[in-house]
């Protein structure tokens, strides 16, 4: 993406990205809903490859309010990391990005700010990280609810476009001295009863989604919510049993896959990706003639214990320039890690319980209805 294009998009986000909203249930269910905007940062050159199929780069932007002056900073919602962090007002931006475009934090104007005087270095798989120091200050929901002295990284150097709201388990925190991160702090403060939240990314063409802390929205999924144990994996993950191709052929896998809103597409260990390519009749690089794929009718089925999630071919492939060749949005990784990013999560409803170490999973149901209930697992 050209830097000028990115900066234009980010300047617009200063005005359009979502803010946390609070909705109280008449049954006194303890929860808070954080709405976010789905922002497509795909370069225009990629979008022009086809009207409906292209290689997308999506961000899930929300806004947090921090400090006695309720400073608002944009962050991306990330279930694959565990720390809240954002740039300071005097941060140095690296990698040619404008890391301050959707908000910075000025500690000198908050009377409740505390510098913990411990350095923090957040590194990510894409090589773009941020460095600074651990801090604490008050967090505010828009209904006036205050969460006192939440811990976050205040970054003095950042190579990312935005800060991050990490919602993963404490094991992933960027420090050996583990602390209550955002979901755990909400529980400790009595805002929610469990260190748990549910994620609804919405459809591939939607402009918004939501995280509900402390509750599950039964209106947002079809059928029953299957309850799965965390897989033995570094990240918050479940076990993928197999995949089924449109012709009914099945590839048995039994591998852990991390459910990560901070990842784009699906990334699998290289040999696993090639097994899926073969089952789908693709080349070793995961491509095929668009004409042979039946993009409007075919779907890939991902089978877990007690539930299967389908991904339409129209979302699974993007079209190369010229329109004759399509590439699967499933990529091989020489590092051997398995991440299910937004390509999967747009089609699934996922409820994460970090206390019981269980995941609720079902096919997403795209609608504006709401039916919130407490976590039962």
Burial of 29: CB neighbours in 10 Å, binned 0-12, 13-18, 19+: middle
Q: How far apart are CA 329 and CA 202, in angstroms?
A: 18
Which of 270, 357, 346 shows the shortest CA–CA distance to 58? Answer: 346
- Residue in the structure block whose two tokens are 């490859």: 49
The closest of 123, 137, 133, 148 to 87, measured between CA atoms, is 133
Q: Which residues are catalytic?
A: 78, 260
Q: Is-contact 228 377, C-beta < 8 A?
A: no
DSSP state letter for 291 = G
Can you tell me whether residue 28 is helix, strand or coil?
coil
Give the tokens for residue 73. Answer: 């900073």
CB 183 within 8 A of CB 1: no
In the chain, which residue ranges form alpha helices assigned H by DSSP? Answer: 3-16, 44-47, 182-188, 270-279, 313-316, 342-345
């Amino acid at each position: 993406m050209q830097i000028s294009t990115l900066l234009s998009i980010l300047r617009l986000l200063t005005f359009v990205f979502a803010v946390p909203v609070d909705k109280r249930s008449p049954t006194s269910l303890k929860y808070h809903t954080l709405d976010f905007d789905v922002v497509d940062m795909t370069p225009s050159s990629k979008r022009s490859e086809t009207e409906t199929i292209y290689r997308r780069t999506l961000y899930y932007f929300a806004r947090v309010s921090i400090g006695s002056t309720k400073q608002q900073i944009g962050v991306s919602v990330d279930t694959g990391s565990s720390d809240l962090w954002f740039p300071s007002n005097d941060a140095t931006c690296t990698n040619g990005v404008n890391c301050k475009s959707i908000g910075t934090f000025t500690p000198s104007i908050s009377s409740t700010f505390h510098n913990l005087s411990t350095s923090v270095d957040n590194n990510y798989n894409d090589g773009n990280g941020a460095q600074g120091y651990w801090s604490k200050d008050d967090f505010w929901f828009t209904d006036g609810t205050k969460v006192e002295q939440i811990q976050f990284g205040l970054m003095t150097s950042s190579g990312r476009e935005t800060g991050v709201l990490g919602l993963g388990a404490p094991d992933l925190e960027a420090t050996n001295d583990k602390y209550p991160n955002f979901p755990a702090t909400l529980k400790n403060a009595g805002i929610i009863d469990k260190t748990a939240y549910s994620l609804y990314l919405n459809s591939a063409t939607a402009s918004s989604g939501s995280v509900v802390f402390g509750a599950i929205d039964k209106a947002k999924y079809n059928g029953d919510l299957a309850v799965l144990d965390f897989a033995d994996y570094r990240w918050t993950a479940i076990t993928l049993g197999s995949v089924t191709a449109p012709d009914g052929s099945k590839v048995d896998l039994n591998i852990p896959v991390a459910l990560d809103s901070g990842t784009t597409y699906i990334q699998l260990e290289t040999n696993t990706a090639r097994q899926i390519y073969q089952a789908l009749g693709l080349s070793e690089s995961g491509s095929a003639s668009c004409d042979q794929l039946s993009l409007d009718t075919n779907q890939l089925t991902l089978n877990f214990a007690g539930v299967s999630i389908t991904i339409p071919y129209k979302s699974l492939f993007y079209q190369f320039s010229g329109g004759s060749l399509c590439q699967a949005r499933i990529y091989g990784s020489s590092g051997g890690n398995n991440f299910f990013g937004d390509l999967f999560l747009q089609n699934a409803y996922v409820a994460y319980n970090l206390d019981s170490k269980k995941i609720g999973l079902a096919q997403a149901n795209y609608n504006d209805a709401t039916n919130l209930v407490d976590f039962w697992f």
